[in-house]
Amino acid sequence: MNIRIHSIHFDASDRLKSFINNKLDKLSILASGEILSSEVFLRLSKANDTENKISEIKLEMKGDTLFAKKQCKTFEEATDMAINALKKQLDKHKNKYK
């Protein structure tokens, strides 16, 4: 699976990038190889001071595209929540095509 990470208006640390890669690799295993590529957008929100980290994840799959966007105090937490939302979407996607 091809993973692209975009950090908007800041430089993401290598630790954060490896965290995201590990999470997406685990998600890819759950999807049974149906995920073709993924894009992650990391942004800082100016509207909220405490929960200003936004993680958006788009998964390109065979015949479908899944998307999740979460906002939390840290990028790790936002990514975790987005991955959990994508897991639910993957389950619905699998049941839809069975």
Q: Tell me the domain boundaries of the chain.
A: 2-96
Give the mean pLDDT of 15-31.
92
Token pair 């479908």: residue = 64
Give the mean pLDDT of 4-13.
93
CATH class for domain 2-96? alpha beta
Segments of the chain assigned E as strands: 2-7, 35-44, 53-61, 64-72
CA–CA dist 42, 9 (Å, integer)? 9
Give the mean pLDDT of 93-97.
76
pLDDT of residue 50: 79
Mean pLDDT score of the chain: 91
Query: Would strands 35-44 and 2-7 be described as parallel, antiparallel, or unpaired?
Result: parallel
CB burial string 25-63: b at 16+ within 10 A, e below? eebbeebeebbeebebebbeeeeeeeebbbbbbbbebee
Question: For a pLDDT cut of 90, what percent of the chain falls above it?
Answer: 67
Give the mean pLDDT of 55-72.
93
Phi and psi angles of residue 40, each rounded to the nearest 5 degrees, phi first: -120, 130
- Say if residue 55's pLDDT is above 70: yes
Query: Would strands 53-61 and 2-7 be described as parallel, antiparallel, or unpaired?
Result: unpaired
